[in-house]
A and B are shown apart, each in its own frame.
Chain A
């Protein structure tokens, strides 16, 4: 079974530009999560999809971040316009049940300069 795939693995953009991160979950996993780790600190929750619906987006930092999961398959996370503090590693995870034990992707390292 293929794992959770994230693209790109690295992205370096200038402040004010737009970046779109993509996550392909494990096929059949209804639950999809986005997390972010900034500067070696804790991994912080961003949001949770169940199929195509946003179950919980309480962790989204502000309205510069937009997440979508059209059709309940892959998800995108767009940052527009990017700021310096958005730099970090963005992880996507998926699971069949929402009670924990996720499968994570390798992450996208975003650097805003």
Chain B
């Protein structure tokens, strides 16, 4: 079955450091890939997405490239801010017998220190 694996947290960085959160997936079809972010006390928000191989999703300085050959969708940001502290979820959406379903990873908590 389909699955998403992302690096365990927490990840603690200083402000302006480079961020990478690894995400790999297993899928039988050709899924769309997503990163969601959950800020403290809020619901999940869609951060970025990519719908086919080699697509790059980007938003708010974050980027992720859909790599079919390595089945990966790593999240990167060149210079993190304290306000980026949140939990980040990698996800895929693929069509199964019950229609499209989105599957999430376990989430990676990011702490950014001033």
**Residues in A1-29 with C-beta less than 8 Å from chain B:** 3-4, 6
Q: Give every chain B residue within 8 A of A56 (Cβ-Cβ).
A: 96, 98-99, 101
User: A residues within 8 A CB of B34?
Assistant: 100-101
Complex-state Cα separation, A100 to B32, whole angstroms: 7
Point out the residues of chain B lying under 8 angstroms from A103, CB to CB: 46
Choose among A3, A37, A100 the residue that contacts B102 (Cβ–Cβ < 8 A).
Answer: A100
Q: Tell me the smallest distance from the CB of A25 to a CB of chain B, in Å.
A: 12
Majority SS at the chain B contact face: strand
Which residue of B has the minimal Cβ distance to A42? B106
Please give, as numbers and ranges, the residues of chain A lying within 8 Å of B43 by CB-CB distance: 3-4, 6, 91, 104-107
Residue ID in chain B nearest A9 by CB atoms: B41
Q: Report yes or no: B101 in contact with A41, Cβ–Cβ below 8 A.
A: no
Cα distance, A70 to B103, chains bound together (Å): 26
B102 & A40 in contact (Cβ 8 Å cutoff):
no
**Contact in complex: A48, B99 (CB < 8 Å):** yes
Interface size in chain A (residues, C-beta < 8 A): 29
By the criterion CB–CB under 8 Å, are A91 and B32 in contact? no
Chain B residues closer than 8 Å to A3, beta-carbon distance: 43
Q: How far is the CA of A43 from the CA of B104 in the complex (A)?
A: 6
Contact of A55 among B42, B89, B98 (CB under 8 A): B98
A98-B99 in contact (CB<8A)? yes
Interface centre among A3, A6, A45 (most CB of B within 10 A): A45
Tell me which of A33, A101, A103 has the highest count of chain B C-beta atoms within 10 A of its own C-beta.
A101
- Min distance, Cβ A43 to any Cβ of chain B, angstroms: 4
19 example contacts (A-B, Cβ-Cβ < 8 A) are as follows: A3-B43, A6-B43, A40-B106, A42-B106, A42-B107, A48-B98, A48-B101, A55-B98, A55-B99, A98-B99, A100-B34, A100-B49, A100-B91, A101-B34, A101-B49, A102-B46, A104-B36, A105-B43, A106-B43
Report which A residues bind B (CB closer than 8 A). 3-4, 6, 33, 35, 37, 40-45, 48, 50, 55-56, 58, 91, 93, 98-107
